[in-house]
Amino acid sequence: MERTVRRSGTPGRRAPRLAIGGISHETNTFSPATTTLDDFRCRSYLTGEAIVHQARGARHVLGGIVDAAANHGMTLLPTLFASAMPAGIVTRDAWDHLRDRLLGRLRAHHAGPWGIDGVVLALHGAMVAEGQDDAEGALLREVRATIGPDVPVVAVLDFHANVSAAMTEAADLLVGYRDYPHVDTYERGREAVEQVLDLRADRLRPTTALRLLPLLTPLPPQRTDGPGDTPMREVLEIARDLERRAGAASVTVAGGFPYADVPGAGVSVRVVTDGDRPLAEAVADRVAAALWDRRERFQVRGLDADEAIDRGLAVAAPGRPAILAEIADNPGAGAPGDGTSLLARLLARGVTDAALGTIADAEAVAAAAAAGAGGTVRLRLGGKTPGSGGPLDVTARVEQLTDGTFTNRGPMGTGSQTRLGRTAVLAADGVEIVVCERRVPTLDPELFRAVGIEPTARRLLAVKSSVHFRAAFAPLAATVIEVETPGLSGSDLAALPYRRVRRPIAPLDHEVRYLD
């Protein structure tokens, strides 16, 4: 796909005017919980100058956008930014509201006396709304229709984006995260602003080659850090080498989001060159082949709960806990975060000196609050969402009650706040359980410290996350073990009830042919 160079005239002395905003959601279509406008308002719903105020200096995409624009003396034209915790399909009302508010503000800026010189949007790339399988593609098409062909549009996408031809055709450039865990989001925001400036100055004539592979991969083998068997990191090293040696402007791999049952789900490669179509096509084929050659290595599974506990107890050392990652119940991938399967095995086996965070259960938190710190509660904990393993009968002491707000100190969203809602620590037979009102993945050790648990002082730490936890937890761990339990974000993709993904596709089908 070749992008025609779009310029809004030769840059003059007037400061360039940059419109910013975005709508971000990673949609797990297997989740029965729809995502409403209230879910966006609960997590992030910003308009106008509030976007700039909250983003300035923050180590995330919007922070990178705002800081880079300030460094280049650009005038910011904020529209709307909204984000909701990953969950089920976005309701039509929520989608219509958010799209209309963003486009309305963009239209007003464009109609002003000075117009718009560029647009940068922080999106995700795996949002599914009622009636709209490719929400980002639809949004970018409407952005283009609103501002016309002469204004550069750059969108930042998550590493798990299900990239579509519509996204690539509507935007001049798509900037994707390169790291998983996503510790480079700030840098990608800055890069997007630099790309707008390059487009305006005619320093780049983007020509894009897109490859959509017939391949779904679970999240854990998409990780790009080490150590261990990391096929995605190998592919990205090939991509970076081709950028340097072949002279491509950018080579971007997206692992895709496999829990979106839509035709566009899957792994993709995007190569951008400065007007060189043959080079873009050749490099895209090289990187796509590297991915396809490793397809079997992307199909891995974690241990069952008992195997994971055995291995963790065997290697945990003083000051170096074993981390048990409950990957199939990851709220960060749209799972309910209230599964109790791993907890049930810890309790049944009499494991002590262990902590688990978190279980999302507002009813349990209310019961703990009623009992008060030091009180005893008997309750049915978690498992209230279909498919999460059912509730667990627990008698526990209420160790701690907090408001669930803490500041992230690790590489993920450094300096930003996480809000769990009201939070209780329940102690049951040697296991401390962090129970909270909101579904939040366990990404930062400060989650435990904020409720009085020093993570390095426990033998086992159980977390609900697929990969992101590694950025902050792996450095303090004796080992990291992925655990398969019932849930909506597990590694056995063939067990999920796919109905709408394109077929044939690996690993759901045999004899899938690609690049033969």
- C-alpha closest to that of 137 among 106, 112, 174: 174
Q: What is the pLDDT of residue 414?
A: 86
Q: How many domains does the chain have?
A: 3
Q: What is the pLDDT of residue 395?
A: 97
Please give the residue range of the domain that contains residue 311.
305-490
Q: Does residue 513 belong to any structural domain of this protein?
A: no
Q: Which two tokens stand for residue 79?
A: 């529209």
Q: What letter would DSSP give residue 113?
A: S
Going residue by residue through the chain (516 aa), what tens digit of pLDDT does each one get?
Answer: 554 444 444 444 689 999 999 999 999 999 999 999 999 999 999 999 999 999 998 899 999 999 999 999 999 999 999 999 999 999 999 999 999 999 999 999 999 989 999 999 999 999 999 999 999 999 999 999 999 999 999 999 999 999 999 999 999 999 999 999 999 999 999 999 999 999 999 999 999 999 999 999 999 999 999 877 799 999 999 999 999 999 999 999 999 999 999 999 999 999 999 999 999 999 999 999 999 999 999 999 999 999 999 999 999 999 999 999 999 999 999 999 999 999 999 999 999 999 999 999 999 999 999 999 999 999 999 999 877 778 999 999 999 999 999 999 999 888 888 999 999 999 999 999 999 999 999 999 999 999 999 999 999 999 999 999 999 999 999 999 999 999 999 999 999 999 999 999 999 999 899 976
Burial group, residue 210, by CB count within 10 angstroms (0-12, 13-18, 19+): buried
Q: Does residue 500 belong to any structural domain of this protein?
A: no
Q: Does residue 118 belong to any structural domain of this protein?
A: yes
CB neighbourhood size of 386 (10 A)? 11
Residue 429 shares a structural domain with residue 458: yes
Residue 277 shares a structural domain with residue 322: no
CB neighbourhood size of 201 (10 A)? 11
- C-alpha to C-alpha distance for 406 and 420, rounded to whole angstroms: 9
Q: What is the pLDDT of residue 440?
A: 95
Q: Does residue 501 belong to any structural domain of this protein?
A: no
Q: Does residue 82 belong to any structural domain of this protein?
A: yes
Query: pTM for the complete prediction?
Result: 0.95
- C-alpha closest to that of 286 among 244, 232, 235, 224: 235
Residue 367 shares a structural domain with residue 447: yes
Residue 255 shares a structural domain with residue 327: no
- C-alpha to C-alpha distance for 141 and 251, rounded to whole angstroms: 23
CB 200 within 8 A of CB 8: yes
Residue 442 shares a structural domain with residue 455: yes
Query: Taking the alpha carbons of 362, 368, 369, 371 in that order, is the dihedral positive or negative?
Result: positive
